[in-house]
Structure 1
Amino acid sequence: MTGKVIVVGAGIIGATAALRLAEAGWDVALCDGNAPGSEAGASYGNGGWISPASIIPMSMPGLWRKVPGFLLDRNGPLTIDWRSLPQLTPWLLRFLWAGASKTRVRRTAKLLNFLLHDGPERHLELARKTGQEQLVLQKGLLYAYPDRASFEAEALSWELRRENGVAYVEWDETEIRRRLPALGPPYRFAIHVVNGAHCRDTGSYVAGIVEAARRKGVQFHPSAVTAILDGVMPQAVLEGGETLSADRIVVAAGIHSGRLLRPLGVRIPMQSERGYHVTVTSGQAPFEIPVMPSTGRMANTPTNMGLRLSGQVELATVNKPPNWKRAQVLQRHALASYPYLAADKTPHLRLWMGHRPSTPDGLPVIGPLSRHPSLIAAFGHGHVGIAAAPKTADLVLDALESRISDNACPFLPSRFGQ
């Protein structure tokens, strides 16, 4: 089965889906008001980690005890804007419940593993297919700790990774100094996830995928979708008033997906985990393996633009202005982690803030809407958008062609009554 499909959103999820659908013979229109890969576009500021280890949900047993601290400490790795609390509370309660037991988080980890386990290999193939081999490298990913005791304090997380086949090796202090001398003395133990990969320029990568899709016949419309209508044929209303019709519409608009679907009576519980990044553009990072120091909970990725420091989770409403103090926290952690950065007294920095579209159960929403089967959801990926994009594209194609496997069922919108 093929036909005409509109993909709303040209971030990594929408771009990858558009290419996959075009390869399968669908007539695809891709819509986004921002240029693919531009700083204003989705996925530009991604940390670039393609990690099979990213299967650990944000909500874990005992997290509820830390909520008062999240409200009071505006500099911690996770913070909650107290002024946004009235809007966040229903989502937050479901979020805490989702991680209230080991049984629940074990299930979530297993489901995320289905999406992520072959993510590095899939992206290496996607990069080759789109002529961007230089942007996706598989050198592993390093999780750094002050000592073994700090690593063992995260025993449940690494137990879940082992259960799901994530391959890793331990590095002692000698190995760290030999393999990654730029990492400062506070870190004396590390875990190397050997199959992990990373993207050196997520913006260019997304733009390249869209360009490859266009070569396959995808029509790109540089206009934002302002409304989705569902009738005999679903329609997307573009900024400026133009209306596109198709057999199906794939909604891959990230945090804006909820706003587009709400007029149709669709209520998906989704909030923004606002993430920040600082890119040190005054020189290339003197290492090739991305690092996540445990003290700052930030992904430190060598990119074509310099060392990108990305992370932080700020739960706040979408329209709230950025809190750039969060970016300063990233910079302070980086100075403590990499002595070479302290030697640069006038670093050139670029700051950015974006929205991770996150569901309370830690799983993306992928598949047809129960009351609007012509509309296919593909959003809510939280921290794993880039890593999960190839598998998401497969599931979107399956949904369009009415193939819903048992593996796909846990991601369906019907779990939220939609």
Structure 2
Amino acid sequence: MSEARGAAGSKTHVAVIGGGVIGVCSASWLLREGFAVTIVEPGEIAGGSSFGNAGCFNPSSVVPMSMPGNLAKVPGWLLDPLGPLSIRWPYLPSIAPWLLRFLQAGSRERVEKQAAALAGLLRDSPGAYRPLVENAGALDLLRRDGHLMAYLTRADFEADAFSWQLRERNGIEYTVLERDALWQLEPTLSRDYQLGVFLPGNGHTVNPQRFVNALADAFLRDGGQIKRAKVEGFDLTGDRLSGLRTDAGFLAADQAVVAAGAYSKQFAKQLGDSVPLDTERGYHIIVSSPEARPGLPIMDTSGKFVATPMETGLRLAGTVEFAGLEAAPDWRRARNLLKLGKRLFPGLRESYSEDRLSVWMGFRPSMPDSLPVIGYSRRVRDIVYAFGHGHVGMAAGATTGHLVTDLIAGKPPRVPIEAFSPRRFG
């Protein structure tokens, strides 16, 4: 392993802002490249979206959120109390520009380009993690069991034809299973679901928080540092970074990575980049010792949620709520996931005691075109952005970390990143 050296011969010091999966993977690859690396995180490692997501490493997640025809579905989603979308009406004026960009991103031409960009970022997601996971001694947390997408009817599957065409064109293999073949693969599934699509290239972790913490522990063991602090801004000398201002004092750094998830927008603004980053609030509910436990993650395509078997129980995760970073959680959203889970798995009980349930709400850092922001800041090339991954943060973590390392090291990115430019919105 080569060592990245500064002008005076000492190791180049890189500060990574954010202790989620993107920050930890970036820091881990940078350390392996020979940089001195400090993760700067005010809370717990993997305390945000990396704690509560569905835990899936899905190369198949190349389909953007904004698709042709989605606009017609929005009223029904909003009116359905079990629907996948909710907007807190006081937040509507704030989110309106984002929603407009979201709808504009859903043309067929744009979606084709977005899917191709995501395919490069997500290719062999489980395999991309393997060197880090092996180094952390955490292979027990990584599964390559595939993923199942469940449809109530064949007509529902056929209505999704464009999504499957996008996957095919981007190299995603899948097998369609109907009725008995579907139920044999997953006996816990309701017989109301008539068709499923098995995606053998997908993987998952049985505990996202423990997974990211295992990588962080290995990072510390191998010489990295973690500083508990809230970053407030950057100190620049001309066109070079000299360090970060934090609530715990000044941290000298030669280069920096902004991987602060939903909180990244403020840093980009300080550096002259206006990015339309907002937050989709996601929820989960976990049933401990569930009576019905699938053998692999299942996405209910009608309810737009994922059921993942984890070591803590059955995690039902999903939904999109627009309400910003300040509003209190609406725990009915999490409880509704349990109702949907009962429809998917009839073996679950109608109700549970509170000691068998746990609920969570977190902030997905989302861009309206479903593409993250990966690239140099406008102000200085010493600062690299890596945020806005929306629903694919876990899947894209390892490869994003590789790309960050390429940019910090001044190497050509191993995956094309033009589509992820911070300046693509003008």
User: Which residue of 398, 405, 416 maps to 2:406?
Assistant: 398
**Could you tell me which residue of structure 1 aligns to residue 251 of structure 2?**
244
Counterparts of 1:231-380 in structure 2, within 5 Å, are 231=237, 232-240=240-248, 242-283=249-290, 286-342=293-349, 345-346=352-353, 348-380=356-388
How far residue 102 of structure 1 moved from its aligned partner, in angstroms, is 1.1
How far residue 344 of structure 1 moved from its aligned partner, in angstroms, is 6.3
1:150 and 2:156 are equivalent in the alignment: yes
Number of aligned residue pairs: give it. 413
1:381 and 2:385 are equivalent in the alignment: no
User: Which residue of 47, 51, 56 maps to 1:49?
Assistant: 56
SS in 2 for 1:289: coil
SS in 2 for 1:182: coil
How far residue 131 of structure 1 moved from its aligned partner, in angstroms, is 0.6
Alignment partners' CA distance in 1, 2:310 and 2:113: 34
How far residue 239 of structure 1 moved from its aligned partner, in angstroms, is 2.4
Alignment partners' CA distance in 1, 2:114 and 2:323: 24
> Once the two structures are superposed, what CA deviation does each residue of 1:225-281 show, in whole Å capped at 9, x if it has no partner?
2333333434222223x1101111100000001123333443211110111000112
Which deviates further from its counterpart, 343-352 or 79-88? 343-352
Which residue identity lines up with residue 402 of structure 2 in the other structure?
D
Question: In percent, how many aligned pairs have the same letter?
Answer: 38
> Once the two structures are superposed, what CA deviation does each residue of 1:188-216 show, in whole Å capped at 9, x if it has no partner?
21000011100100000111111111122
Alignment partners' CA distance in 2, 1:82 and 1:7: 35
Alignment partners' CA distance in 2, 1:320 and 1:98: 27
SS in 2 for 1:416: coil
Does the 8 A contact of 2:102 with 2:368 survive in 1?
A: yes
Taking structure 1 as the reference length, what is the TM-score of the superposition?
0.94
Q: CA RMSD in A?
A: 1.8
How far residue 360 of structure 1 moved from its aligned partner, in angstroms, is 1.3
Alignment partners' CA distance in 1, 2:404 and 2:362: 24
**Could you tell me which residue of structure 2 aligns to residue 9 of structure 1?**
18
Does the 8 A contact of 2:292 with 2:347 survive in 1?
A: no
Which deviates further from its counterpart, 57-66 or 160-169? 57-66
Which deviates further from its counterpart, 347-356 or 158-167? 347-356
Which 5+ residue runs of structure 2 have no aligned equivalent?
6-11
Distance 1:180-1:68 versus aligned 2 partners, 3 A rule: closer
Which residue identity lines up with residue 256 of structure 2 in the other structure?
I
Alignment partners' CA distance in 2, 1:336 and 1:74: 15
Does the 8 A contact of 1:81 with 1:316 survive in 2?
A: yes
How far residue 126 of structure 1 moved from its aligned partner, in angstroms, is 2.8
> Once the two structures are superposed, what CA deviation does each residue of 1:9-41 show, in whole Å capped at 9, x if it has no partner?
01000000100000000010111112213xx44
Alignment partners' CA distance in 2, 1:236 and 1:277: 34
**Could you tell me which residue of structure 2 aligns to residue 412 of structure 1?**
421
Which residue identity lines up with residue 109 of structure 1 in the other structure?
A
Taking structure 2 as the reference length, what is the TM-score of the superposition?
0.92
Which deviates further from its counterpart, 205-214 or 334-343? 334-343
1:165 and 2:135 are equivalent in the alignment: no
Which residue identity lines up with residue 107 of structure 1 in the other structure?
K
User: Which residue of 21, 36, 41 maps to 2:30?
Assistant: 21
Does the 8 A contact of 2:241 with 2:383 survive in 1?
A: no
How far residue 343 of structure 1 moved from its aligned partner, in angstroms, is 6.4
> Once the two structures are superposed, what CA deviation does each residue of 1:326-370 show, in whole Å capped at 9, x if it has no partner?
112111100111122126653611000011101111100011112
Which deviates further from its counterpart, 216-225 or 257-266? 257-266
Alignment partners' CA distance in 1, 2:146 and 2:114: 23
**Could you tell me which residue of structure 2 aligns to residue 36 of structure 1?**
45
Alignment partners' CA distance in 1, 2:121 and 2:397: 8
Which deviates further from its counterpart, 385-394 or 336-345? 336-345
**Could you tell me which residue of structure 2 aligns to residue 209 of structure 1?**
215
How far residue 74 of structure 1 moved from its aligned partner, in angstroms, is 5.0
1:138 and 2:144 are equivalent in the alignment: yes
**Could you tell me which residue of structure 2 aligns to residue 115 of structure 1?**
121
User: Which residue of 87, 102, 105 maps to 1:98?
Assistant: 105
Alignment partners' CA distance in 2, 1:71 and 1:306: 29
Distance 1:233-1:103 versus aligned 2 partners, 3 A rule: closer
1:190 and 2:199 are equivalent in the alignment: no
Which 5+ residue runs of structure 1 have no aligned equivalent?
none
